[in-house]
Amino acid sequence: MDENMMRRCCEQKLQIGKTVPGVKLEGYYKGEMKDFSLEDYEGKWIVLFFYPLDFTFVCPTEVVGISERHSEFEELNAQVLGISVDSVFSHEAWCKELGDLNYPLLSDLTKQVSRDYNVLLEDKGMTTRATFIISPDGILKSIMVNEHDVGRNVDELLRVVKAFQTGELCPMNWKKGKETLGKA
């Protein structure tokens, strides 16, 4: 990476309402290892979620739970991508144990993407449980972060994507089919 590119990368700040940093990582999906990037899903909503590590206690409940509901994300024109600091070989071994997932698991072995998204716990060498909802034009709409002990709620992830897709102001506990507060 040349000096100018390095400076631009370091200056880029992750912020709601701004374009997200690029992601290009090797991943594992249904028996295949290949490169994945956010650009591969241009025109789609992206639910990018970081999880601490493969072969842990809470992570499989999330990874499998999100996979079981993947068709609901697809109906919303949303692509789910999971990221951890494990290798693609670890993802492959884990998927043999868990079964095929309905979305790719990406490997951030260098931890650079985790740093770019400010979710890396440097002292532990792993990430928090963080979810980023990104609009089809690459704008960050939502950040949700949990410590390791508590998993995500798939119903809430789906609700938030649906709310952003209205383009309107959505009150607390809003659900699809309910009244919004009008244009944002």
Marked catalytic residue, from 9, 10, 59, 95: 59
**What secondary structure, in 3-state letters, does the chain show?**
CCHHHHHHHHHCCCCCCCECCCCEEEEEECCEEEEEEHHHHCCCEEEEEECCCCCCCCHHHHHHHHHHCHHHHHHCCEEEEEEECCCHHHHHHHHHHHCCCCCCEEECCCCHHHHHCCCEECCCCEECEEEEEECCCCEEEEEEEECCCCCCCHHHHHHHHHHHHHCECCCCCCCCCCCCCCEC
Distance CA 108, CA 86 (A): 7
161 touches 170 (CB < 8 A):
no
Q: Is 170 a catalytic residue?
A: no
54 touches 86 (CB < 8 A):
yes
Active site residues: 59
